[in-house]
Structures are given as C-alpha cells and as structure tokens.
Amino acid sequence: MLTKEIKSLVSKDIRFELRQRSAINGILLYVVAIVFICYLSFLRVNIIDGQTWNALYWTILMFASMNAVSRTFVNENPNRQFYFFTLASPQAIILSKIFYNAILVFILSMLSYFFYIIFMGNKAQNELMFIVCVALGSIGISAILTFVSAISSRTNNNFTLMAILGFPLMLPLLLILMKLSEFAITGTDWLTALIYFLLIFLIDAIVLVLALILFPYLWHD
C-alpha cells in the first residue's frame, strides 16, 4: 500500500517535471556555468590537484542540490497540491519527495562529474568507488534538504531560510563524503574505505527514519 502510493507520487512528480522542464533546465545551466567558471579560473594556476578537484566538486554539487530541492514544496497550484495530499499519507509524501530529489541530485552529480571530466580531466583513480559514494551521498543530501525544505515551506521566506537551516545540517554528511571521495581519487583500497561507507549508510538511514517520523507533525495544518 505504502509502496504503491510512493510509486504513483514519484511518477507524478517525474511526469510534471518532464512536461514543464523548468527545474531541470535551470539546474543544468547552473552546473555547466559553474564548472566552466572553475575551469576558466584554474587555467592560470594550471595545477588542480586531487584535493581541490574534490572540494570544488562537492561545493558545486551542494549549491546545485540546494537550488534543486528548494523547489519541492513550492505549490504552483495549491488546490491541486492540497487534493493530492489529502489522498496520500504523510509518510508516502515525504518518502516520495526524498526519493525524487535523490534521483535528481544523483543526476546532477553525474552531470557535474561528466562536465568535470571534460573541462578538468578525470582525477578519480577508483571511479566505481566515487560513483557509489556519490550515489549514497545523494540519498542523504536529498533527505536532509527535502526535510529542511518542508520546514521552510511552512514559513514565508523560502530560499534564504532553507539555506540557513540546511547548510549547517548538511556539513557532517559532506565532510564524510569528501573524505570518501578523496579515497576514491587517491585510489585507496575498499577495505579502509569501508568504514566510511558504513558511516554514510548509517547517516542516511537515521536521517530517513527521522524524516519519516517527524514529517507528519509538520503536515497537520
């Protein structure tokens, strides 16, 4: 029952998105622009070592994700939105939003990675580890940001408040992700990296459960 709700909610969101394309186009442009700017500014310096590459990547991804997720709870058509939400349970709603955003963030991350390779060369020695790390990270980032977006949608100042609330909360996850992707870049073996993977998995799980439990309280209005 729950999975069916979630599936239909997610497919509805995806269909809306494909029809309107407003979000995806804007974000795509954003990513390309930033990567290009970084490329230009590093032309002079000529040395992009693994660490800089890594740090820049996550910074770009963070800003792009915030941009992307800030739109989740903006009701373009409040009546229709309200109708949908009376049909589905709050758990289904939040899970579907998180899932949708996770896919979105993952697509963003892969796009960024792609443009990164084009402009600045591929520094990651262990590509599979990098991608897995980013995939797990997308879930966590999406969960935190979606939840914060839900909170700030209940107030009036949407994007600033979301940034203020979301940014510090994302930092712990980001630090671990950065450490892990650094491992992927330097080509460390999977065994040492394993504990970081577990940590990310743990954070993802905890944040998801929290969001599930707490969202209904936000919703009763």
Could you list the residues that contact other proteins (CB under 8 A)? 144, 147, 151-152, 154-157, 161, 164-165, 167-169, 171-172, 175-176, 179, 195-196, 199, 202-203, 206-207, 210-211, 214, 217-218, 221
**Which of 146, 66, 137 lies closest to 99, judged by CA?**
146
Task: Report residue 20 CA to chain centroid gap.
Answer: 20
User: Considering beta carbons, is residue 56 or 170 the nearer one to other proteins?
Assistant: 170
CB of 169 to other proteins, least distance (A): 5
User: Considering beta carbons, is residue 26 or 172 the nearer one to other proteins?
Assistant: 172
Please give the angle made by the CA atoms of 112, 115 and 117, to the nearest 5 degrees: 110
User: Considering beta carbons, is residue 13 or 204 the nearer one to other proteins?
Assistant: 204
User: Considering beta carbons, is residue 87 or 206 the nearer one to other proteins?
Assistant: 206
CB of 5 to other proteins, least distance (A): 22
Burial class (CB in 10 A: 0-12, 13-18, 19+), 187: exposed
Task: Report residue 36 CA to chain centroid gap.
Answer: 21
User: Considering beta carbons, is residue 57 or 196 the nearer one to other proteins?
Assistant: 196
CB of 67 to other proteins, least distance (A): 19
* CA distance readout (Å), 221 to 116, 143, 187: 44, 22, 50
Q: Which residue has the tokens 């940014």?
A: 167
The CA distance from 134 to 141, in Å, is 10
Q: Burial letters for 188-202: b for 16+ Cβ neighbours within 10 Å, e otherwise? A: beeeebeebbebbee
CB of 75 to other proteins, least distance (A): 17
CB of 79 to other proteins, least distance (A): 21
